[in-house]
């Protein structure tokens, strides 16, 4: 089935006869595979008598040689899957199996993609980027301070190089364009964070997705913002490059060197917000972040700091 998909990925028409010859099967077998592609991967295929078959839109499939070709310098080894539950889950399994870090897990599709607080991350086939980077951390808690915010900066800068100029950050782990979500970050730890551990840096970016009725919040994508079909292999290579630079800087100097840049990119600076943790809610004004990446709020005239993976930040109606 994937061999057929690679023949069709250019978005041009291909006759059933030509596809059958390339695959070494009959035209009826080609037709059955096409039906399976549509049903299994939800890929619309145009059928025109006398012209053949055409994907509704060209596909950029993830390929390790293409990522390496775009890379400037060394790139992390990548495990690429056609379909898995989630790249973070696969990364955690690979750690348990002894895979040496650093390494990447990429997928064309996730069947159980996850965001923060257990939310579903909608993951259509070959449209977006589902990316998990595994690192071995030996420097103790200092090496983890503000790490998700550093990843957010790298993602934002990467999007901007593709023309998504209005991309900005929302504490702690979202990248927005005009208050619409375009990317999210999910970090997971294995081991002792005070000694030696592994961290999985999960990144989801809406790349070429143009429709998704099942998403329950305002969203956009790189293709929506630029009007272009984005080469996801180039996107991986550029994100790798930005992360390599920023992670090394973070390892050497800590998070404080990123604090000012992050605050300048934060879209909700000085905004009236509600910080929600379960049934509890705190209303305040965003002052920025501290040297560990915690959110600083002015609450009833008093500055307070908040951190934790289960916190949700929302704009107040009177903002």
Exposed e or buried b per residue across 122-157, where buried means at least 16 C-beta atoms within 10 angstroms of its C-beta: bbbbbbbbbbbbbbebeeeeebbbbbbbbbbbbbbb
Given this model, what pLDDT does residue 319 score?
43
Q: Which residues are catalytic?
A: 116, 181, 314
d(CA 69, CA 130): 20
Given this model, what pLDDT does residue 272 score?
96
CATH no. for 64-263: 3.30.930.10
Given this model, what pLDDT does residue 213 score?
58
Q: Which residues of the chain have pLDDT under 70?
A: 1, 114-122, 212-216, 309, 318-319
Q: At what angle do helices 232-253 and 147-161 cross, to 10 degrees?
A: 140
CATH 1.10.10.10 corresponds to the domain 2-55: yes
Angle at 24 (CA atoms; ends 19, 29), nearest 5 degrees: 65
Find, among 54, 9, 48, the residue nearest to 232 by Cα: 9
Task: Provide the residue ranges of all domains of the chain, joining segments of one domain with +.
Answer: 2-55, 64-263, 268-315
d(CA 60, CA 114): 23
Write down the pTM of the prediction.
0.89
Q: Phi and psi dihedrals of 265, rounded to 5?
A: -90, -10
Write out the DSSP string of 58-106: ------HHHHHHH-SS----EEEESSBS-HHHHHHHHHHTTPPSSEEEE
Burial of 227 (0-12, 13-18, 19+ CB in 10 A): exposed
d(CA 80, CA 59): 16
DSSP 3-state assignment of 239?
Answer: helix
Angle at 202 (CA atoms; ends 161, 90), nearest 5 degrees: 130
CB-based contacts of 93, cutoff 8 Å, min separation 6: none
Candidate CATH numbers 3.30.990.10, 3.90.1150.10, 2.30.30.100, 3.30.420.40; the one for domain 268-315: 2.30.30.100
Given a contact cutoff of 8 angstroms between Cβ atoms, the answer to whether 46 and 56 are in contact is yes
Given this model, what pLDDT does residue 1 score?
62
Given a contact cutoff of 8 angstroms between Cβ atoms, the answer to whether 95 and 71 are in contact is no
Given this model, what pLDDT does residue 188 score?
94
C-alpha 269, offset from chain centre: 24
Given this model, what pLDDT does residue 154 score?
98
Q: 181-239 pLDDT, tens per residue?
A: 999 999 999 988 888 899 999 999 999 987 765 666 789 999 999 999 899 999 999 99
């Amino acid at each position: 089935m994937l061999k057929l998909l690679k023949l069709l990925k250019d978005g041009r028409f291909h006759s059933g006869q030509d596809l059958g010859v390339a695959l070494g099967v009959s035209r009826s077998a080609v037709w059955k595979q096409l039906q399976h592609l549509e049903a299994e991967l939800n890929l619309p295929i145009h059928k025109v008598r006398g012209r053949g078959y055409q994907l509704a839109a060209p596909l950029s499939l993830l390929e390790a040689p293409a990522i390496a070709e775009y890379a400037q310098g060394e790139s992390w080894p990548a495990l690429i899957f056609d379909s898995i539950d989630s790249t973070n889950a696969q990364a955690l399994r690979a750690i348990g199996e002894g895979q040496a870090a650093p390494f990447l897990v990429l997928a064309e599709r996730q069947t159980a993609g996850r965001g923060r607080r257990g939310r579903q991350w909608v993951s259509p086939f070959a449209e977006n980027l589902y990316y998990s980077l595994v690192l071995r951390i030996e420097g103790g808690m200092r090496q983890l301070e503000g790490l998700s915010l550093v990843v957010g900066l790298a993602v934002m800068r990467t999007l901007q190089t593709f023309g998504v100029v209005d991309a900005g950050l929302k504490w702690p782990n979202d990248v927005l364009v005009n208050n619409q979500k375009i990317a999210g970050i999910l970090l997971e730890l294995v081991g002792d964070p005070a000694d030696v551990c592994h961290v999985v840096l999960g990144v989801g970016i809406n790349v070429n997705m143009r429709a998704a009725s099942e998403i329950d919040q305002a969203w956009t994508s790189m293709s929506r913002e630029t009007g272009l079909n984005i080469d996801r292999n180039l996107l991986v290579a550029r994100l790798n490059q930005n992360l390599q630079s920023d992670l090394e800087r973070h390892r050497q100097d800590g998070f404080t060197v990123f604090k000012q840049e992050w605050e300048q990119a934060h879209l909700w600076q000085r905004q009236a917000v509600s910080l929600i943790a379960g049934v509890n809610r705190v209303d305040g004004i965003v002052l920025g972040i501290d040297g560990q990446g915690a959110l600083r709020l002015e609450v009833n005239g008093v500055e307070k700091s908040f951190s934790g993976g289960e916190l949700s930040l929302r704009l107040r109606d009177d903002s």
